[in-house]
Structure formats: C-alpha cells, structure tokens
Amino acid sequence: MKKIIKNGTVVTATDTYRADICIENGVITQIGGKLPDVDAEIIDAKGCYVFPGGIDPHTHLDMPFGGTVTKDDFESGTMAAAFGGTTTIIDFCLTTKGKTLKSSVDTWHAKSKDKAVIDYGFHLQIVEMNNEKLAELPKMIEEEGITSLKVFMAYKNQFQADDETLFKTLIAARDLGALVMVHAENGDVIDYLVKKAIADGNTDPIYHALTRPPEVEAEATGRAATLTELANSQLYVVHVSCAEAAWKIAEARSKGIDIWGETCPQYLVLDQTYLEKPNFEGAKYVWSPPLREKWNQTELWNALKTGQLQTIGSDQCSFDFVGQKDLGKGDFSKIPNGGPIIEDRVSILFSEGVKKGRISLNQFVDITSTRSAKLFGLYPKKGTIAIGADADIVIFDPTVERVISAESHHMAVDYNAFEGMKVTGEPVSVLSRGEFVIREKQFVGKPGAGQFLKRAKYGADKQTIHEGPLTV
C-alpha cells in the first residue's frame, strides 16, 4: 500500500516548503500541496520537519582495532544509526598486505549480511599499491561499486601507508573515478612522541592528545593536499579536528585543488580537557586525531558554515569503557581509539548547529546527508527528497528536548561520550526505502533489511547530459 506523509515541512539541502509526499514501492512518487488520501496509509508529520535520511560517511562496525574489536556490529550499529535519523552508512573495509582486495570485501560482506537494518556501502582501505592491487582496483570500483579508497597516514606498524602508496592511490583514483580519503596525521612523528612520553613515565590518557598535537594533523593534511594537486586527483580528509587542518583544506581549495573535509560531532562540542578526567575516565575521550583546545570549535563551526568543511561523519568506533578502553590503563598508547557517536550525530548537529544559529536548516541537511550522497556516488537516489529518490525519510520533531545518556541509547557500549548533554530535536519516525525502521520512536525494522549499495564513480553527480540542442 502506498504511504503519504502529510502536514510536514519538507527540508532539502536547498529548499524548505510545506508539502505531502507519496511513497510507492520504496520510492518517492509524488510531492504536492494536498495529495488525495485514497488507498494510502497516512503518516501525520504535523509540527515536524521531513528530512532526507542522514548519511553517515564514516563508520567502523565490527572492526578489529587496538587489540580488540569494536563493540557495535552491523546490527546494533545500524539500529542505533536509525534511531538517530541516519538511513545510510558507509563503513571502512580493512584490507591486509599480501591478500586480495576481494577477500577483504568478502569479509566485510559476511559481517554485514543479514544484520544491517539500513542501507550501507563500503570504503576500501589501501595499505599497499603494487601491481596486484592495481590490477584488482577496476573490478572493485566498477563491479563491486566501492568508489572510495582510504589511506591512513598514521597508526604506524598497523594501518599506516607511506607517501608512495598514497600518491599511487591518488593517481589510480583519478584514472578510475574514485575518491581518496585520508586519515591525516603524521604517524612517524606521533610514534616518536608516544615512545618518548611512555619512556618518560607520562602514561595517562591526556598524553594521547599531547603526543598528537595539531601540527601533526595540519602537516599531514597539507602534504596530502599537495600530493593530490600533483596527481591532479581528488581527496576527502576524514575527521578534521582542529583549526590548523581546516585552514590547510581552505587554502588548498582556494588554489583549486579538489579537496573536501569532514568533521565529527566530538570535535564540535567536546575538548581536550575531557582527557584529564580522573579515574581513567579520560580514556572514554581518546580519539585520533584527539580532542583539541576549545577555541578550535569556533573555527570548525565557521568552516562548516562557509563550506570549507562539507560533511559530518560519526567516526563510530565504539569500545566499552570496562573491558576494552581499560586495555590502556597504565599506558595511554594501548587505549583503543574511538567512541560511540553514530546515534547522536544528527541530533547534535541540529541542536548545536541549527538551534544555536551556527548553520541554516538547509545547510544541516546538506552536511548530514546530501553532500555525502554527492561525494560518494549515491545522489540523487539517496540524500534528497525528490520524485524518484529512495524514500529514506526522517520525520523530525524540532521541539523535543532530551538528555543524551548511555541509559537510553541503543548502541551496544557501556558509556556515552556525550552523557548529560541536552539536545533539542529528535527523529520521531524513520523510513528506509519506504518501510518504517523507527515508528513513533520504537524500532520496527528488521536485521538484514538493509541493502548493500553499489555506488557510482566520483563526480557522477556533476555530469550533465544534454539530450538535444540547448534552447534559450
């Protein structure tokens, strides 16, 4: 049966208007002033915004890391994402030196199959770029639909790739139509600073931040931008945490380099002092890059507002405080890096961004959904409300106030990094391809209902096809 969403205010990255939305067979078939109710299930969105479902371009579900495995898997992680108004995630598929890319992709399919409650795609990590990997890449991009490649410039002796690998990846991506993503921190310098701190007896969580100063992030960001220019390629910098890195991106963009930047909620609202919490509580706030001095938040908000940063990812990488984060008691370098954010990404951006006047409502939709759809080959199927688009829709009450807490969240972890934070605005109902996943704040979805998304090549959204002579 078709569904009609009535009485809501539709918001896209460009427009805000009152309209009804008709959904048939999972897609939006009509948008209009007053659509007739005949033979339709009516969904009342009175007093609510109707947004395109959020797209989280940065998650690590069921991922081995730091001697353990992230707590949220594709079931709990996507369920929590849906509660928070996200209807698509793109997760990082880790790869291994000496093994085929295909074997890693198969592993990630096995992790997600029958589990995801919303649609999902993969980014592909590149740890080495040799003839075997080069030969496999076209298949990954064209047949598997994995059109973004991730290079870590940090995590020495684990994920880190060298500049030659990054450069070759940029060239391959340019030729094959993929977007290169970087974790931009200088891993060699960090390795030296970490070893020195530990040798000096500086083992508390705060030293995680002190051994990864903003300069190491800015240097790597600038280096990656320069290599992108040299390769005439395209780059997306994940989890930008500080002003210095955001400025490097702005500078590169002003030179015409095709570079994009993502930040995350934690960098917008939390700061370095959280790492100083007593009783090892600082470990809850160990991310790489680390939380920064508070003044950076203003610069990051300004960069989102002015378009110098374009997206917000959760960087969901959750570990329990008890039993996982405590692997680093007595040695901060052994604290698994990352935190649980997938559920609160959209709410925090709405509450802290729109409600506090830092960004507009349309910018909020662009940052949480539309821009990622465009950059990662999902637009216009995802990321907007338009005829023919998937009916991935969030009915969002902008007036509800709630307090974020591990008591009420749906992630599988034993703490919430934003515990006690008051936010205004909350998803009431969430639809994925026209089916309710969340209905009146209750989960009604099904593990396995989420589909793997084969994504279009980088830049596909920009192509204009003129079918006949242009007339004016």
| Binding region for ligand URP (CB under 6 A) | 60, 183, 239, 287-288, 315, 317, 337-338
How many whole angstroms separate alpha carbon 179 and alpha carbon 260? 10
72 binds Zn ion (CB under 5 A): no
Comparing CB distances to ligand URP, the nearer of 10 and 317 is: 317
> In 10 A of CB 367, how many CB atoms?
25
Comparing CB distances to Zn ion, the nearer of 344 and 390 is: 344
Comparing CB distances to ligand URP, the nearer of 239 and 381 is: 239
Q: Which residues does 189 contact at the CB level (< 8 Å), separation at least 6?
A: 216, 219
| Cα separation values, 77 from 6, 51, 114, 315, Å | 30, 21, 13, 12
183 binds Zn ion (CB under 5 A): yes
Q: How far is the CB of 388 from ligand URP (least distance, A)?
A: 34
Comparing CB distances to ligand URP, the nearer of 321 and 443 is: 321
Give 156: exposed, middle or buried? Use CB within 10 Å, 0-12, 13-18, 19+.
middle
Residues 231 and 286: beta-carbon distance below 8 Å = no
Cross-strand pairs, 27 = 24, 390
Residues 92 and 125: beta-carbon distance below 8 Å = yes
Token pair of 145, please?
A: 């639909």
20 binds, among Zn ion, ligand URP, none (CB under 5 to 8 A by kind): none
| Cα separation values, 226 from 152, 180, 200, 231, Å | 16, 13, 35, 9
The residue number with the shortest CB distance to Zn ion is 183
How many whole angstroms separate alpha carbon 317 and alpha carbon 61? 7
User: For the chain, what is the largest distance between any 2 Cα atoms, rounded to a whole number of angstroms?
Assistant: 74
Q: How far is the CB of 347 from Zn ion (least distance, A)?
A: 20
415 binds, among ligand URP, Zn ion, none (CB under 5 to 8 A by kind): none
Comparing CB distances to ligand URP, the nearer of 28 and 149 is: 149
Cross-strand pairs, 183 = 152
150 binds, among ligand URP, Zn ion, none (CB under 5 to 8 A by kind): none
Comparing CB distances to ligand URP, the nearer of 45 and 216 is: 216
Q: How far is the CB of 65 from ligand URP (least distance, A)?
A: 6
Q: How far is the CB of 159 from Zn ion (least distance, A)?
A: 8
Q: Reduced to 3 states, what is the DSSP secondary structure of residue 165?
A: helix
Q: How far is the CB of 315 from ligand URP (least distance, A)?
A: 5
Q: How far is the CB of 167 from ligand URP (least distance, A)?
A: 21
Comparing CB distances to Zn ion, the nearer of 6 and 212 is: 212
Comparing CB distances to Zn ion, the nearer of 22 and 94 is: 94
Token pair of 148, please?
A: 């973004």
Q: How far is the CB of 150 from Zn ion (least distance, A)?
A: 9
Residues 320-349 that bind Zn ion (CB under 5 A): none
287 binds, among ligand URP, Zn ion, none (CB under 5 to 8 A by kind): ligand URP
Residues 294-323 that bind Zn ion (CB under 5 A): 315
Residues 246 and 223: beta-carbon distance below 8 Å = no
Q: How far is the CB of 56 from ligand URP (least distance, A)?
A: 13
The site map against Zn ion for 143-182 (x = CB under 5 A) is ----------------------------------------
115 binds, among Zn ion, ligand URP, none (CB under 5 to 8 A by kind): none
Q: How far is the CB of 187 from ligand URP (least distance, A)?
A: 11
56 binds Zn ion (CB under 5 A): no
Phi/psi region, residue 72 (left: phi>0; alpha: psi -120 to 50; beta: rest), is: beta
Q: Which residues does 427 contact at the CB level (< 8 Å), separation at least 6?
A: 83, 84, 85, 346, 347, 394, 395, 396, 397, 438, 441
Comparing CB distances to Zn ion, the nearer of 324 and 363 is: 324
84 binds, among ligand URP, Zn ion, none (CB under 5 to 8 A by kind): none
Residues 275 and 210: beta-carbon distance below 8 Å = no
Residues 135 and 168: beta-carbon distance below 8 Å = no
Torsion of CA 97, 98, 102, 108, to 10 degrees: -40
Comparing CB distances to ligand URP, the nearer of 9 and 59 is: 59
Token pair of 115, please?
A: 């589990």
Q: How far is the CB of 313 from Zn ion (least distance, A)?
A: 7
Contact set with Zn ion (CB under 5 A): 183, 315
